[in-house]
Structure 1
């Protein structure tokens, strides 16, 4: 379970896709990023754009900022600032990293055939499934909240109608009392 949590923390959303970066995958597979990318380049026909894409400079700068910020927060909360050094090794690369979608990671299992790569690939697939389950639960919660808001809105309308009806009844009662208490005009008979 710990490895799944570790993998989930390495899944990012880029271009609307949940992806893992080449250096994170290389770290998990215990190979160099260069070796992983060479294996992918030898099998490039297996990795269309919806399986793998290279980040732009802007995407990489934004993502590095997010990674470093989250690592700094995690390090500060745990009191271990050595975690930040993990990200420093990714800063000096001459190439922009590649991002692999869930399908791309699955395709890596056919390219990297070591036992470690196979076992790690299974764990990564489980992590993607867990993330999907979390998102489905979140969508269900969001739908329920929307439904509650709509119901509250309907209740507000109904309550306003009740308040208006009560005000009208009170106004009618006040008008009736005023009518009964008015000074009478006209002829008075002996019984009045």
Structure 2
């Protein structure tokens, strides 16, 4: 099966909002080749399928952050309507509301993108943990070496010349 879009193309469409990984209604509408208004209508008609942890309306501040972060949302700047944010489950639920063959194919690719995004996050967390463990080991080795050097320095007699003083001549 030919992928409509590569998974990596979806990564830039996934945002962190309110602790969720979400996609914005305008991006989803563009992917499904429909108007944002029509997408929102389907969600409103089927509201029982979209609880708050599946889809939520962004706040004014969140909308401003999206506009500042992405040029493609510039048209939202002066809009009186805040965009809707769809979590992974909300995007999956869209496939039951939008039934065109294109919508099904796009949903499959979006689900793959969410899985890929999660894998990247897990890999980065594992890498971060390993780096911290190595850093701690290196710090311990350096501390051990510094302690050894300090102890040796205290044991060693000073090396060098001493100037004779009148006391030494007596």
Tell me the residue number matched to 2:165: none
Tell me the residue number matched to 2:81: 95
SS of the residue corresponding to residue 6 of structure 2 reads: helix
Q: Which runs of 5+ in 2 are unaligned?
A: 159-167
Q: How many residues align?
A: 158
Tell me the residue number matched to 2:104: 118
Contact 2:64-2:77 at 8 Å conserved across structures: no
Matched, 1:64 2:67: yes
Report the structure, 1 or 2, having the larger helix content. 1
Per-residue CA distance 1:53-100 (angstroms, 9 max, x = gap): 1000011011110002xxxxxxxxxxxxxxxxx544444543100000
Aligned partners of 1:92, 1:13: CA distance in 2, in Å?
Answer: 23
Tell me the residue number matched to 2:128: 142
Matched, 1:167 2:153: yes
> Following superposition, which runs of at least 4 residues in structure 1 exceed 6 angstroms of deviation?
none
Matched, 1:15 2:18: yes
Aligned partners of 2:84, 2:56: CA distance in 1, in Å?
Answer: 6
Matched, 1:37 2:40: yes
Contact 2:26-2:36 at 8 Å conserved across structures: yes
Q: 2:8 aligns with which of 5, 10, 15?
A: 5
Deviation at 1:125, TM superposition (A): 0.4
C-alpha RMSD over aligned residues:
2.1
TM-score, with length taken from structure 1:
0.76
Aligned partners of 1:90, 1:118: CA distance in 2, in Å?
Answer: 27
TM-score, with length taken from structure 2:
0.85
SS of the residue corresponding to residue 23 of structure 2 reads: strand
Bigger radius of gyration, 1 or 2?
A: 1
Aligned partners of 1:165, 1:50: CA distance in 2, in Å?
Answer: 61
SS of the residue corresponding to residue 156 of structure 2 reads: helix
Per-residue CA distance 1:1-29 (angstroms, 9 max, x = gap): 75322211111111121100001001001
